Amino acid sequence: MLTHHAEVRMQQRGIPMTAVDALLSFGHQRRHRGADVYFLDKRARTRLVNELGRTRYRKLEKALDSYLVVSDDGDVITAAHRHRRLRF
């Protein structure tokens, strides 16, 4: 489930719901400041290419340079683009 804040941020930043689904399904999860952060590392991207196929992956590739912050109850709090390496 998306919070209202997450919906607004996704719209502002041009992150489609298909990218959010891919991040939640294939993304690497790290705990940070009381919430889970999902992002795609190299291994997750390889799995995603194998699952979606190269053409579908290329359509989403730019949006996949993003991360999600998810609360303990499973709600997506926010979504943002990664401009540099995430540090935990």
User: What's the pLDDT score for residue 86?
Assistant: 75
User: What's the pLDDT score for residue 62?
Assistant: 87
48 falls within a domain: yes
Sign of CA dihedral 36, 37, 41, 46: positive
User: What's the pLDDT score for residue 84?
Assistant: 81
52 falls within a domain: yes
86 falls within a domain: no
Please choose, from the candidates 14, 43, 5, 15, the residue with its C-alpha nearest in 3D space to the C-alpha of residue 27: 43
- Domain holding 36, by residue range, is 4-81
39 falls within a domain: yes
User: What's the pLDDT score for residue 58?
Assistant: 92
User: What's the pLDDT score for residue 46?
Assistant: 95
Q: Which residues of the chain have pLDDT under 50?
A: none
What is the number of domains present in the chain? 1
87 falls within a domain: no
88 falls within a domain: no
Please name every residue paired with 15 in a beta bridge, in sequence order, or none if there are none: none
> Taking the model in full, what pTM does it have?
0.86
19 falls within a domain: yes
User: What's the pLDDT score for residue 74?
Assistant: 93
How many degrees, rounded to 5, is the angle at CA 21 between CA 19 and CA 24? Answer: 110
* CA-derived radius of gyration, the chain: 12
